[in-house]
Every structure is written in structure tokens, then in C-alpha cells.
């Protein structure tokens, strides 16, 4: 399940765990967490290794945990063994070191589905989508990407977003925000200059900020 960290789309979303549990169990909406500012009440005590979460707040770090692990693993392995490394965890990729040739990666909406081939020499690449991990509820289909503004499954303009950024965490932050809030995150993506490939609800593909035009169907 995915919320997303502060700084993208004008909202804050790591406290959407209640909405995640709600839609996955068929319960509509999310509990009151003090609005989108609920994340500000979370406290971290680094020396003791403790995390304090206020009553009624549930964390969902799905948008960053895999990406952070990919970043961490790629950097550690590259430094330890002095080689180029590509780590992929659940659709979040991180390349570290200097490869002899760029890695060739298939970017697709779902594993084994049609996609495009791109090369990746460094940095992170993440794809977020609402076309998988869907289930039927009494009100229709729901999915795992939660809009933190509403606590409901996102209904933005894009069904899939792939983004390159210097780190997997940053790439995933933008790709998730684009699915969760749509055009609210698009402006910040354009300001960042990160290449992106967006697929609209109708299947229309939009490529931004230098996404490789030589990409081809996989």
C-alpha cells in the first residue's frame, strides 16, 4: 500500500495507513488523523531507535521503504565490491557505480506486460501504477494507491507513472505522488526536471523532461 512522503503535490502522505487498512478491508475512508498535517506529530528518537506515533495515526511507508532499501543496498554493494550494481525491489531500481555499458531495463505497467526499453547508467527509476493490486469492493474496484487528501484510492489523471531521479526514493516519491494526486504533483515534477513517462486513464502516453525518445516497445 502506498502513501508518499512530504514535499510533492502540495500534500503530506505517510500517515495514510488507516486509509490503506480501510480500503483493503472494504471499509470506506480513513480515521481522523488531524488532516494532512498528522505526519508532523510523528516523533523519531534516533539514539534509542524508537518511533512515536500519535493515537489514531497509522503509518504507511510503502512509497519509500522499498526505494530506500534499493538505494542503500546498491550503494553499499558498489562500495564494498568496487563494481557497478543494479538493485530492483518491487519496481524500484537503483544503479550505483560505473557500468561498462548502461543497464537495459524494461519499463512496463505490470510484470511481463508490454513496455519500453530504456537504459540506466546511474540513479533511480521507479514505476507506480494502479493497474495492479486491485480488488472488488461493494462500491466497485479499489487499489493500493491512497490519495492522502481524501483517504480513498486515488482517481487522478494518470494510471501509471515512471520517473527517473538521482535516487530511487526521490523517483518513487514523484511516481507515487503523480498517481495519488495527478496534476497537483505534475508542476513540481516539471520544476525538478526529472524525466518521466506517464500513462493516462485512456492509455495516452506522455513523455517529459528528456525521457528517452529512442525507447521502443519491449
DSSP state of 66: H
Whole-number Å distance between alpha carbons of 89 and 112: 16
H or E element, residue 96: strand 92-96
For residue 207, the SS3 value is strand
pLDDT digit string, tens, across residues 63-117: 689 999 999 999 999 999 999 999 999 889 999 999 999 999 999 988 888 889 9
What is residue 109's predicted lDDT score, i.e. its pLDDT?
A: 87
Average pLDDT over residues 185-200: 94
Of 38-42, 104-108, 143-147, 175-179, which gets the smallest average pLDDT? 143-147
Which residues, other chains included, contact 95 with Cβ-Cβ below 8 Å and sequence gap of 6+? 74, 84, 85, 86, 103, 120, 121, 122, 123, 124, 125
Give the Å distances, CA to CA, from 21 to 51, 57, 104, 155. Answer: 20, 12, 37, 18
Sketch out the chain's domains with CATH numbers: 17-211 (3.10.520.10)
pLDDT in tens, 28-48: 444 443 444 466 778 888 998
| pLDDT range class, residue 60, cuts 50, 70, 90 | confident
What confidence score (pLDDT) does residue 139 get? Answer: 67
Nearest-10 crossing angle of helices 168-181, 65-81 = 160
> Residue 169 pLDDT more than 70?
yes
Q: Are 174 and 161 in contact (CB under 8 A)?
A: yes
Contact 31, 56 (CB under 8 A): yes
How crowded is residue 78: how many other Cβ atoms within 10 Å of its Cβ? 19
Q: Which three cell numbers stand for residue 148?
A: 492522502
Is the model more confident about 158 or about 75? Answer: 75
Residue 21 has pLDDT above 50, yes or no: no
Q: Which residues pair with 158 in a beta bridge?
A: 200
Q: Give the model's pLDDT for residue 2.
A: 45
pTM of the full predicted structure?
A: 0.75
Determine the pLDDT at residue 151.
Answer: 65
Q: How many CB atoms lie within 10 A of CB 10?
A: 13
Amino acid at each position: 500500500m502506498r502513501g508518499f512522503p512530504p514535499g510533492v503535490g502540495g500534500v503530506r502522505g505517510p500517515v495514510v495507513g488507516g486509509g490503506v487498512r480501510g480500503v483493503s478491508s472494504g471499509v470506506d475512508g480513513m480515521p481522523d488523523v488531524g488532516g494532512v498535517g498528522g505526519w508532523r506529530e510523528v516523533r523519531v528518537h534516533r539514539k534509542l531507535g524508537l518511533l512515536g506515533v500519535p493515537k489514531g495515526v497509522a503509518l504507511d511507508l510503502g512509497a519509500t521503504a522499498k526505494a530506500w532499501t534499493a538505494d542503500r543496498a546498491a550503494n553499499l554493494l558498489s562500495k564494498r565490491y568496487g563494481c557497478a550494481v543494479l538493485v530492483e525491489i518491487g519496481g524500484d531500481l537503483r544503479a550505483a557505480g560505473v557500468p561498462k555499458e548502461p543497464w537495459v531495463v524494461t519499463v512496463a505497467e505490470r510484470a511481463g506486460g508490454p513496455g519500453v526499453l530504456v537504459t540506466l547508467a546511474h540513479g533511480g527509476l521507479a514505476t507506480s501504477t494502479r493497474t495492479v493490486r486491485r480488488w472488488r469492493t461493494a462500491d466497485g474496484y479499489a487499489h493500493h494507491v491512497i490519495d492522502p487528501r481524501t483517504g480513498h484510492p486515488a482517481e487522478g489523471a494518470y494510471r501509471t507513472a515512471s520517473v527517473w531521479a538521482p535516487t530511487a526514493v526521490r523517483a518513487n516519491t514523484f511516481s507515487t505522488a503523480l498517481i495519488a494526486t495527478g496534476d497537483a504533483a505534475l508542476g513540481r515534477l516539471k520544476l525538478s526536471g526529472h524525466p518521466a513517462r506517464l500513462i493516462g486513464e485512456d492509455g495516452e502516453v506522455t513523455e517529459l523532461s528528456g525521457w528517452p525518445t529512442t525507447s521502443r516497445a519491449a
